[in-house]
């Protein structure tokens, strides 16, 4: 299937998830994250902020626990720069910093910019992923462009409620591969 076909299919599949399953899937991925990720050497984590109305993985579960238990780790959160059409990232200071954009995504309104080379791990949103680590997002290319500016040793971890498909038919050299993907039932590594 092509990215456009997968995007449509997986938006529908996610929309069909019951509220009970959504909570269960979130909890399972949360547990997978803390069993899989070694936080010992992590100083900065970039995370998307979820659109829970669209049943995206609730990254707040991870953010809240790390802020409580690993106060030395900083979070970086994205904002779409309207002039450059690129993601710019800010250190997360607290909820007072956030405001919803036109898509209902919470974004920082002010703060200290995060230098991309300081980011050690990125939690990447996706709709579908294939067995080689290529992902399908919402189609704007924000994360592919952002990930291409991160350090080579920066870990890129996707989160999905569904297992990988065999192959995305129309990937290209601008599509950035992830290192791994956490699902409710299994962790997939692509290195």
Sign of CA dihedral 157, 135, 28, 94: positive
Express each pLDDT in 125-158 by its tens digit: 999 999 999 999 988 889 989 999 999 999 999 9
CB atoms within 10 A of CB 156: 22
How far are the Cα atoms of 46, 63, 83, 113 from residue 43, in angstroms, in the given order? 10, 13, 29, 15
- Go through the domains of the chain in sequence order and give each one's CATH number: 3-189 (3.40.50.10420)
Q: What is the pLDDT of residue 130?
A: 95
Structure tokens at 6: 């997968």
Q: What is the pTM of this model?
A: 0.94
Dist CA 119 CA 22 (whole Å): 29
Instruction: Give the chain's residues under pLDDT 70.
Output: none
Report the candidate in 109, 105, 96, 117 with the shortest Cα–Cα distance to residue 46: 117
Q: What is the pLDDT of residue 141?
A: 85
Dist CA 14 CA 169 (whole Å): 21
Strand partners, 79: 88
CB atoms within 10 A of CB 117: 10
Dist CA 161 CA 126 (whole Å): 10
Q: What is the pLDDT of residue 105?
A: 84
Q: What is the pLDDT of residue 55?
A: 93
Report the candidate in 125, 119, 64 with the shortest Cα–Cα distance to residue 90: 119
Q: Which helix (H) or strand (E) holds 31?
A: helix 19-36
């Amino acid at each position: 299937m092509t990215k456009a076909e997968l995007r449509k299919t997986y938006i529908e599949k996610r929309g069909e998830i019951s509220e009970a399953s959504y909570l269960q899937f979130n909890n399972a991925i949360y547990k997978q994250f803390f069993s899989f990720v070694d936080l010992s050497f992590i100083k900065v984590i970039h995370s998307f902020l979820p659109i829970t109305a669209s049943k995206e993985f609730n990254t707040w579960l991870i953010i809240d626990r790390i802020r409580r238990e690993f106060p030395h780790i900083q979070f970086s959160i994205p904002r779409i720069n309207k002039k450059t059409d690129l993601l710019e990232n800010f250190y997360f200071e607290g909820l007072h910093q956030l405001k919803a954009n036109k898509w209902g995504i919470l974004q920082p309104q002010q703060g200290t910019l995060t230098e991309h080379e300081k980011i050690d791990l990125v939690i990447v949103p996706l709709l579908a992923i294939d067995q080689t680590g290529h992902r399908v997002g919402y189609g704007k290319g924000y994360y592919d462009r952002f990930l291409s500016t991160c350090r080579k040793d920066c870990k890129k971890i996707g989160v999905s409620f569904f297992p990988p498909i065999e192959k995305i038919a129309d990937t290209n050299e601008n599509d950035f591969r992830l290192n791994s993907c956490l699902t409710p039932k299994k962790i997939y590594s692509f290195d």
